[in-house]
Structure 1
Amino acid sequence: MFSKKRLAATAAVATSAALVLAGCAGGGGPEAGATYDPDEKVTLDLAFWGNDVRADLYNQAIDAFNEEYPNITVNATFLGFPEFWEKRQTEAAGGGLPDVMQFDYSYLRQYAENGLLLDLEPYLGSVIDTEPLSENILGIGVVDDTTYGITTSTNAWAVFTNPVLLETAGVEQFAGGDWEDYDDWIGEVTTAGGGQFWGGSDWTGRIQNFELQLRSEGKNLFNEDGTAGFDEDRLKEFWESGSDIRDGAVVPQQVVEEVLPLSAFDTAKNASELTWDNFGAGYLANLGESYTELGIVAPPVTEEGAKDLYLKPSMLHTISAKTEHPEAAATLVNFLVNSPEAGSIFGTNRGLPASETALEAADLDPMSQAVKDYEESIADRLGDAPPVPIVGYGTLEEKFRVLGTELNFGTTTVDDAVTQFFSEMDVVLNQ
């Protein structure tokens, strides 16, 4: 049986929302590893976020599951992403979470540390097949030394490029290099674009690029114990590194605001964008029929040989700590993650399948194949996933983004931005 262990963490950090959740944690659940009679009729509730397309795929997967496990009835419900988490919050407060849940990485620590999720360790290697899942992928669902989630699909940080704009500009694909090389390439494309399009966005406005540089230095953005892996001087250095490109090389913030809710990249205002590699299909759809492909290359290098990149879960599956049927729930999770049937049905709707058996069965379109090839190409830069995000990470990610837009607008200084971010971080980390 596989068991992914980490160093024990110190006291958990909790938001007011987490404190509400804590009130219903613990008690009432079955013993870990409890079995069920394969002839017993069992009903499980399954909840996921998505749309009608994903709902149809889940219905197909449940039908396939029932062919193998006719005694397990699965009642599935879905909502949009914000509504999904609002409902989980209400259910958690009342002690009634669904048996099996599609889960977002940013909520994993909050729910796990408040005793709301089932410890999956007793089922790994038995009910849940771990052979098709790498240790890096299995480690993604670990909080405080315990596995609470199984990754369904992965993505990695990447640079998307627009081949049509690059051809128009007469500039070759970004050939790799450090951040200064990337800045130079952005400037070259912007000059050729003549004010019609730009080489890229201000990459210092994304906290993930800061994390990438910190990982190159052997640090985390946030450590397992909830402390920050950087100080004011390091953040100041990062934001100051964008001063030159903000002076005309990157797309102006006003243009970015004008195309919202789309981005500068999927409105053909930018020739490149640093983001998660599962955004490709959405970009292609928004760019229109004249686009059949996008370029996808590795982000700039901070330190040669560093394991700065990692696989992030597009989503996970978790089980309620209070489920009355833990082994049946684990059986459903295994099917949704590992089975060839699920791989064939979902394809890349949930992201690039994390399981080798599911991935082999998936019918990959050209963009999905490009993402698969990309993730294989960065194997030598892939390190262990960082600690599961701290409670309140989403708030800090958004604050970082907002300050980045203000820097690009020129309405704040780097010093003021650093002060504001650390003030916000102090509140999040110490409440």
Structure 2
Amino acid sequence: MFTTRKRSVFGGAAIIASAALVLGACASGDNGATPGEPVDPTVEEVTLNFAFWGNDVRAGFYNEALDAFMDEYPNITVNSTFLGFPEFWEARQIEAAGGGLPDVMQFDYSYMRQYSENGLLLDLGPYLGDIIDTSGISDEILSIGVVGGVTTGIATSTNAWGMYTNPILAEQLGVESYPGGGSWDDYNDWINEVSGQLDGHWGGTDWTGRIQNFEIQLRAEGGNLFTEDGQPGFDEARLLEFWQQGEAIRNGGAIPGQRLEEIAPVSGFDAALTLTELTWDNFGAGYLGNLGEPYTSLGLVEPPVHVEGARDLYLKPSMLHTISAGTDHPEAAALLVNFLVNSPEVGSIFGTNRGLPASQTQLAGANLGELDAQIRDYEASIADRLGDAPPVPIVGYGSIEETFRQIGAELGLGTITPEQAVERFFTEMNVILNN
């Protein structure tokens, strides 16, 4: 039986003992052990590759967490890499085609069905309750990682769609910060009014470039982006209506698309050029890290409302952790997933950078700072707008989301009309859906 310096990883000696049995039952065949004998990844020299998306702030957090893991398991070496979100998935697609996915991956919900149904992710069932402690994770959260009756991912945290504001910048510029809520027309009017008073700063970005804003409008109408059987929950006319809403701010109110190209990969909000940003609520730490002094705090308010009283928002997994089906070290990889999901020390390191921790064990270790408490309070404040989560994303959803973003960027640059954008989107979406 293997030993640990911190029993909290498994929640006690009894779980450690059962984990050793699992390690024996699920051992891969390349470790030199006699068949049937327990395999101890903390004795065997093991190297794991871990990949995530994010920025330098998140990378610093992961470095701390992985160092703590390797202190706990000195015979396991973890090599990590990170990219921006679009580039991360481009790299995974190339690796998937060549059979070389990283052992452990930070994973997005939108790609779960695609990778699971293609047999690219390891079935975590044999490790649940043993190597991967599930005692502090609710059944509802565990079900997020289930595709076709098989658990292939463990949610690290949950988050919700919201709007970040920069009250400090607003005060510097002598304008009022956006209060949150209101209608989308109200938000457009505010963007135009504020931007008209500024030189070199803007109220916000063209929000019609984000598919999530389209999604919450559809949810407010009682629909979803895609139905349970994978069909679009909208037609060309509805998408055209959405993209036309951005015309009110594309010619001066929103930060110009060309300016966004110049400052990429950071956003206008990261660069202290815009006063608002619609995004997932766990992005705050990254914003603060990129903004730096004197922007030591942010506002977090609810997004505009399409239909009053609608339950258009929902909690989603901000990310999950998965293991490649082709890993040579499934037991060691499961140890890493358990640590990243459950460790109180990891909770202390990340706070809510990945969203509110899904594991109560990890949440207990999270010292909620001002921003972390803001996120917790924000999610409580939108309780009357929280509805059921949408269907598990269809195969190809990640590619559809990226296509939407790219076309939205072209609308912002003025190189395409809304009518052309709709035609192109449906053409490319149909190719993705029928591939």
Q: Distance in 1 between matches of 2:192 and 2:114?
A: 42
Distance 1:213 1:318, change over 3 A: same
Deviation at 1:53, TM superposition (A): 5.3
Distance 1:339 1:189, change over 3 A: same
Report the more deviating stretch, 87-96 or 229-238: 87-96
Deviation at 1:215, TM superposition (A): 1.9
1:183 aligns with 2:188: yes
1:162 aligns with 2:166: yes
Q: Distance in 2 between matches of 1:198 and 1:161?
A: 12
SS in 2 for 1:140: helix
Matched to 2:195, the amino acid is T
Distance 1:254 1:149, change over 3 A: same
1:252 aligns with 2:252: no
Quote the residue 2:415 is aligned against: 411
1:230 aligns with 2:234: yes
- Residues 199, 249 of structure 1: 8 Å contact kept: yes
Quote the residue 2:293 is aligned against: 289
Report the more deviating stretch, 324-333 or 300-309: 324-333
Quote the residue 1:107 is aligned against: 111
Quote the residue 1:119 is aligned against: 123
- Residues 178, 302 of structure 1: 8 Å contact kept: yes
Q: Distance in 1 between matches of 2:244 and 2:306?
A: 16
1:76 aligns with 2:78: yes
1:217 aligns with 2:225: no
Q: Distance in 1 between matches of 2:300 and 2:418?
A: 31
- Residues 99, 319 of structure 1: 8 Å contact kept: yes
Specify every segment of 5 or more residues in structure 1 that has no aligned partner in the other structure, as ranges.
1-30
Deviation at 1:322, TM superposition (A): 5.6
Alignment counterpart, residue 280 of structure 2, candidates 265, 272, 276: 276
SS in 2 for 1:421: helix
Deviation at 1:237, TM superposition (A): 1.3
Matched to 1:241, the amino acid is Q
- Residues 162, 301 of structure 2: 8 Å contact kept: yes
Deviation at 1:415, TM superposition (A): 1.4
Instruction: Please list the CA deviations of residues 240-293 of structure 1 after superposition, one character each: whole Å capped at 9, or x if unmatched.
Output: 222222343222223323333322212222111111222222222332311111
Quote the residue 2:51 is aligned against: 49
Query: Which structure carries more relative contact order (alpha carbon 8 Å, separation 6+)?
Result: 1
Deviation at 1:121, TM superposition (A): 4.3
1:197 aligns with 2:201: yes
Matched to 2:423, the amino acid is T
Deviation at 1:338, TM superposition (A): 1.9
Instruction: Please list the CA deviations of residues 114-145 of structure 1 after superposition, one character each: whole Å capped at 9, or x if unmatched.
Output: 12323334555565444533454323222234
Q: Distance in 2 between matches of 1:98 and 1:196?
A: 42
Specify every segment of 5 or more residues in structure 2 that has no aligned partner in the other structure, as ranges.
1-21, 28-35, 53-58
Deviation at 1:309, TM superposition (A): 1.9
Instruction: Please list the CA deviations of residues 53-86 of structure 1 after superposition, one character each: whole Å capped at 9, or x if unmatched.
Output: 523421203433x4xxx9xx53322123378767
Quote the residue 1:378 is aligned against: 382
- Taking structure 2 as the reference length, the TM-score comes to 0.78
Quote the residue 1:60 is aligned against: 68
Q: Report the RMSD for the aligned CA atoms in angstroms.
A: 3.3
Deviation at 1:355, TM superposition (A): 1.6
Report the more deviating stretch, 321-330 or 350-359: 321-330
Quote the residue 1:428 is aligned against: 432
Matched to 2:193, the amino acid is E
Distance 1:45 1:312, change over 3 A: farther
SS in 1 for 2:246: coil
- Residues 281, 355 of structure 2: 8 Å contact kept: no
Matched to 1:79, the amino acid is T
Q: Distance in 1 between matches of 2:418 and 2:156?
A: 39
Q: Distance in 2 between matches of 1:324 and 1:256?
A: 42
Distance 1:136 1:296, change over 3 A: farther
Instruction: Please list the CA deviations of residues 26-55 of structure 1 after superposition, one character each: whole Å capped at 9, or x if unmatched.
Output: xxxxx9994689964235654322546523
